[in-house]
């Protein structure tokens, strides 16, 4: 291809692998050079799970091929290229010079850290820089700001209703929600039936491009957490669409009722397993919601399942993104409950007798994935009631999940599970004893701990930890009307029983081995 004169340089980042990207919108192949960069800084700012790096690099390399096939000129900087400076800023500067670019046009970054670096490009580069809004999200930053302004509580449910109105998803012609209710969560709390088994999500055999990336990651990132293989995540849009169709055909109908269920060894259940593809750009969130709505309209999936799925995407996903930009940079340092305990080593090794945690960490290690209720009510709940330091928890979640980017991980960690933001995102901490896990899973039967025992050596650790959490955070939580009543139960127990709970919890906490340095960051 002949070199272009003064082209527009369009950097496309690893989570921007979408053909409808705003930076490309008004350009044609003859006037732009697309820059894609595998850079050391991104691969190591935390020590991502090996499969997460394979996913991003393989998806980037396939995306570059697809763009070339459409006639675009793609300048692809591979991790091993001799001159690779290791940073987005360094690579964009080199490419501007290499191509004599007249302009850099880029879609805004998803993460605060990268957005701040991008803000400096204009001053550092010899050409103008245009930063385009990320139109793959439904709510703009301004819309979220407007909605949030002056509200005491940023309740997701009300934001979600705005998104329903904006998109028209599951709306009737009279402006009312389909079925008369906005939210069918009350129908979506079925405990797992014995032997609950769902058709698993498809796995994709790595092709030559992906196999090359697997070899690279095996060599360069051997000390990162997680199993490298088998690797089966979708890395092209075609594969991601196939995975989405398999979900709509085989699992969506039961997505709602079993959303909160957990079964040992059943890693996908009725979840979509699409977050890795949505977050790196292979799937468009709105197209998935429209497709889910069509399943309902054509009578193939019930309203509670379809509404539940759509709410996760245009409700939760959009809301946490808005919340992130609203609450940063403070959110990264928030620690309202003054939790300072180090993360236990078993979060990395999986070596714990607590069967629920061991199973959630196993699927995390094997697949770089765990489903929502595992992340929330087992792993998250443990970190909350054990008082683990929010930054250590945030690092862990950012490292271990293939769908993790700070904009979505941090609000879930600091806001949803740890209450570190002081209750701006969640109106109460999601603290629970072993009872909840026993009700919603089959974990407890074969556990070395007894879920029915409240204190002592073989009591389920979640039981005394729950009361330890309540007791030590009384000052912060007692005035919360959604949780404050629990203190009447605590007080009624009497001093001896309370001391037994606190003693059991402290013995357990003292037995935890802190994580060694170097798992999350170099
Ligand atoms: P499904 O259960 O099929 O849900 C459908 C889609 O809804 C998901 O693909 C996702 O796009 C969206 N969604 C659902 N819940 C949330 C939520 N709370 N926040 C944002 N989007 C949501 N999700 C991520 O994509 N990246 C993360 O880094 C991430 N970190 C999390 C950390 C914690 C502590 C918790 C509690 C949740 C986190 N989630 C995160 C949300 C959720 O657990 C995952 O999106 C989900 O498990 C992905 O699997 P799935 O595609 O099968 O989801
Ligand atoms: C997650 C990730 C990794 C591991 N590596 C790269 C990379 O080498 N090049 C790239 O463009 N993107 C990568 N990503 C995704 C980025 O971290 C993500 O695009 C930014 O965090 C968005 O702000
Ligand atoms: Fe988890 Fe407690 Fe049940 Fe064991 S008994 S699986 S630790 S909830």
What pTM does this model have?
Answer: 0.98
Residue 322: predicted pLDDT: 98
* Tens of each residue's pLDDT in the chain, 522 residues: 667 889 999 999 999 999 999 999 999 999 999 999 999 999 999 999 999 999 999 999 999 999 999 999 999 999 999 999 999 999 999 999 999 999 999 999 999 999 999 999 999 999 999 999 999 999 999 999 999 998 878 999 999 999 999 999 999 999 999 999 999 988 888 999 888 999 999 999 999 999 999 999 999 999 999 999 999 999 999 999 999 999 999 999 999 999 999 999 999 999 999 999 999 999 999 999 999 999 999 999 999 999 999 999 999 999 999 999 999 999 999 999 999 999 999 999 999 999 999 999 999 999 999 999 999 999 999 999 999 999 999 999 999 999 999 999 999 999 999 999 999 999 899 999 999 999 999 999 999 999 999 999 999 999 999 999 999 999 999 999 888 899 999 999 999 999 999 999 999 999 999 999 999 999
CB of residue 354 inside a 6 A radius of ligand 3: yes
Residue 3: predicted pLDDT: 76
Three state DSSP letters for 63-128: HHHHHHHCCCEEEEECCCCCCCCCCHHHHHHHHHHHHCCCEEEEECCCCHHHHHHHHCHHHHCCCC
Closest ligand 3 atom to residue 463 Cα is 2
Q: Tell me if domain 8-132 and domain 346-511 are identical in fold.
A: no
Q: Is 164:170 a contact under the CB 8 Å cutoff?
A: yes
34-55 residues labelled b (16+ CB within 10 A) or e (exposed): bbbbbbebbbbbbbbbbbbbbb
Given this structure, which CATH class describes domain 141-201+251-327?
mainly alpha
Quote the ligand 2 centre to 15 CA distance (angstroms).
6
Q: Is the dihedral of CA 174, 178, 183, 184 positive or negative?
A: positive
Give the containing element (helix H, strand E) for 9. Answer: strand 8-11
Distance of alpha carbon 139 from alpha carbon 143, whole angstroms: 6
Residue 188: predicted pLDDT: 83
Distances from the Cα of 344 to the Cα of 91, 207, 334, 351, angstroms: 38, 37, 20, 10
Q: What's the Rg (C-alpha) of the chain?
A: 24
Cβ–Cβ contacts within 10 Å for residue 304, how many?
22
Residue 187: predicted pLDDT: 84
Distance of alpha carbon 186 from alpha carbon 179, whole angstroms: 14
Residue closest via CA to ligand 3's atom 7 equals 354
CATH dotted code for 346-511: 1.10.579.10
Q: Is 318:137 a contact under the CB 8 Å cutoff?
A: yes
Q: Determine if residue 380 is left, alpha or beta; phi over 0 gives left, psi from -120 to 50 gives alpha, anything else beta.
A: alpha
User: What token pair was written down for 195?
Assistant: 């032997």
What are 107's strand-pairing partners? Answer: 132
- Burial tier of 286 (Cβ tally within 10 Å: 0-12, 13-18, 19+): middle
Taking 3-state DSSP, the helix, strand and coil percentages for the chain, each rounded to the nearest 5, stand at 50, 5, 45
80: Cα separation from own chain's centroid: 29
Closest ligand 3 atom to residue 447 Cα is 4
Mutating to test ligand 1, I would choose from 403, 406, 420, 431 the residue with most ligand atoms within 8 A of its C-beta, which is 403
| Residue ranges per structural domain of the chain | 8-132, 141-201+251-327, 346-511
Distance of alpha carbon 160 from alpha carbon 289, whole angstroms: 13
Distance of alpha carbon 140 from alpha carbon 146, whole angstroms: 10
Distance of alpha carbon 320 from alpha carbon 425, whole angstroms: 9
Helix (H, G, I), strand (E, B) or coil at 449: coil
CB of residue 444 inside a 6 A radius of ligand 3: yes
Helix (H, G, I), strand (E, B) or coil at 345: coil
Cα three-residue angle 142-144-147, rounded to 5 degrees: 110
- Note if the bond before 444 is cis, omega within 30 degrees: no
CATH 3.90.280.10 fits 8-132, yes or no: no
Quote the ligand 1 centre to 372 CA distance (angstroms).
6
Q: Determine if residue 293 is left, alpha or beta; phi over 0 gives left, psi from -120 to 50 gives alpha, anything else beta.
A: alpha
Q: Beta strand 73-77 with 103-107: parallel, antiparallel or unpaired?
A: unpaired
Q: Which residue has the tokens 């906005």?
A: 182
Q: Is 296:303 a contact under the CB 8 Å cutoff?
A: yes
Mutating to test ligand 2, I would choose from 11, 12, 14, 404 the residue with most ligand atoms within 8 A of its C-beta, which is 14
Strands in 129-132's sheet, in edge-to-edge order, are 73-77, 32-37, 8-11, 103-107, 129-132
Closest ligand 3 atom to residue 434 Cα is 8
Quote the ligand 2 centre to 193 CA distance (angstroms).
40
* Ligand 2-lining residues (CB < 6 angstroms): 13-15, 37-39, 42-43, 48, 53, 56, 109-111, 114, 405
Distance of alpha carbon 119 from alpha carbon 325, whole angstroms: 15
Residue closest via CA to ligand 2's atom 9 equals 38
Q: Is 297:280 a contact under the CB 8 Å cutoff?
A: no
Residue 1: predicted pLDDT: 65
Distance of alpha carbon 102 from alpha carbon 328, whole angstroms: 33
Instruction: Classify residue 516 by its DSSP letter.
Output: P
């Amino acid at each position: 291809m002949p070199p272009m004169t003064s082209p527009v340089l369009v950097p496309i980042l690893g989570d921007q692998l979408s053909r409808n990207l705003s930076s490309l919108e008004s350009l044609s192949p003859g006037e732009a050079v697309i820059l894609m960069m595998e850079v050391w800084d991104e691969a190591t700012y935390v020590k991502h799970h090996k499969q997460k790096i394979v996913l991003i690099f393989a998806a980037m390399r396939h995306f570059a091929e697809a763009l070339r096939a459409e006639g675009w000129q793609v300048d692809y900087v591979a991790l091993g290229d001799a001159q690779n400076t290791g940073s987005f800023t360094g690579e964009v500067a080199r490419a501007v010079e290499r191509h004599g670019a007249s302009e850099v046009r880029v879609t805004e970054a998803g993460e605060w850290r990268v957005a701040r670096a991008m803000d400096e490009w204009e001053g550092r580069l010899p050409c103008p820089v245009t930063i385009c809004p990320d139109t793959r999200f439904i709510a703009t930053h301004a819309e979220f700001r407007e909605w949030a302004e002056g509200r005491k509580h940023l309740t997701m449910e009300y934001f979600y209703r705005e998104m329903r109105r904006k998109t028209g998803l599951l709306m009737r012609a009279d402006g009312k929600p389909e079925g008369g209710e906005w939210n069918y969560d009350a129908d979506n709390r079925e405990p797992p039936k014995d032997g609950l088994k769902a058709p698993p999500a498809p796995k994709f055999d790595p092709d030559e491009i992906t196999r090359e990336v697997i070899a690279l990651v095996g060599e360069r990132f051997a000390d990162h957490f997680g199993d490298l293989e088998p690797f089966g995540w979708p890395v092209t849009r075609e594969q991601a669409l196939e995975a989405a169709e398999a979900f709509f055909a085989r699992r969506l109908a039961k997505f709602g009722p079993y959303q909160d269920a957990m079964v040992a060894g059943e890693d996908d259940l009725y979840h979509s397993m699409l977050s890795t593809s949505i977050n790196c750009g292979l799937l468009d969130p709105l197209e998935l919601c429209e497709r889910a709505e069509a399943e309902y309209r054509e009578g193939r999936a019930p309203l509670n399942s379809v509404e539940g799925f759509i709410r996760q995407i245009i409700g939760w996903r959009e809301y946490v993104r808005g919340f992130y930009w609203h609450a940063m940079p403070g959110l990264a340092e928030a620690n309202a409950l003054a939790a300072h305990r180090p993360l236990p080593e078993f979060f990395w090794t999986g070596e714990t007798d607590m069967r629920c945690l061991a199973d959630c960490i196993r699927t995390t290690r094997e697949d770089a994935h765990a489903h929502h209720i595992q992340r929330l009510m087992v792993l998250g709940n443990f970190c909350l009631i054990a008082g683990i330091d929010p930054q250590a928890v945030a690092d862990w979640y950012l490292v271990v999940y293939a769908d993790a980017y700070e904009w979505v991980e941090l609000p879930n960690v600091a806001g949803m599970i740890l209450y570190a933001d002081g209750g701006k995102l969640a109106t109460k901490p999601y603290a629970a004893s072993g009872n909840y896990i026993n009700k919603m899973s089959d974990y407890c039967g074969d556990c070395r701990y007894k879920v029915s025992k409240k204190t002592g050596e073989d009591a389920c650790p979640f039981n005394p930890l729950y009361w330890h959490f309540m007791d030590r955070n009384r000052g912060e939580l007692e005035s919360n009307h959604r949780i404050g009543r629990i203190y009447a139960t605590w007080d009624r127990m009497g001093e001896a029983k309370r001391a037994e709970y606190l003693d059991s919890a402290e013995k357990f906490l003292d037995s935890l081995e802190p994580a060694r340095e170097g798992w999350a960051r170099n």
